[in-house]
Amino acid sequence: MVSELIVGLFVFVLSMFVGREIIKKIPPTLHTPLMSGANAISGIVLVGAILVSGPQEISLVVMFGLVAVVLATINVVGGFMVTDRMLKMFKRKDENK
């Protein structure tokens, strides 16, 4: 039984390995921006939330979806913006003066 779930598991596990290999190399100096940036990326649930709130007629499901859209958007916008705000501050010596 090669179902959608199994394919998904393949994608999941392989992505974890990719993530591990890249993120291992990120220096401790950037761990806070990494977390907020990762936060923004986990805001990808916004895609799911949009799909759930897709139907025209308003139902309980759609309401749930819309609340999820708000929460996930906060995650995406807040996460990417605050990460950019932090990364802007990281400068070498000569750039300071």
Partner 1 sequence: MSEIIPTITQLSYLIAASFFIMGLRYLTSPLTARKGNILASTGMFIAIVVTLLDFSVLNYQMILLAIVIGSLIGGVLARSIKMTAMPQMVGLLNGFGGGAAALIAVGEFQRLSTEEIILTDSFVAIFPGIFIGCVTLTGSLVAFGKLQGIIKGRPITFPLQHYINFFLLFTFIGASIFFVIASPDPSFVLVLVGVSLILGVLIVFPIGGADMPVVIAMLNSLSGLAASTAGFVLGNNILVIAGALVGASGMILTNVMCKAMNRSPTKVLFGSFGAKKEITKAVKGDKNVRSIDVEEAAMILGYAKSVIVIPGFGMAAAQAQHAVSELAEHLEKRGVNIKYAIHPVAGRMPGHMNVLLAEANVPFTQLNDIDDINPEFKRTDVALVIGANDVVNPAARHNKSSPIYGMPILDADKAHHVIIIKRGMKPGFAGIDNELFYNKKTMMLFGDARDTVSKLIEEIGHI
Q: What are the distances in angstroms from CA 61 to CA 34, 58, 85?
A: 33, 8, 36
CB of 63 to partner 1, least distance (A): 8
- Rounded Cα distance between 86 and 38, Å, is 14
Identify the residue whose tokens are 């990460």.
Answer: 83
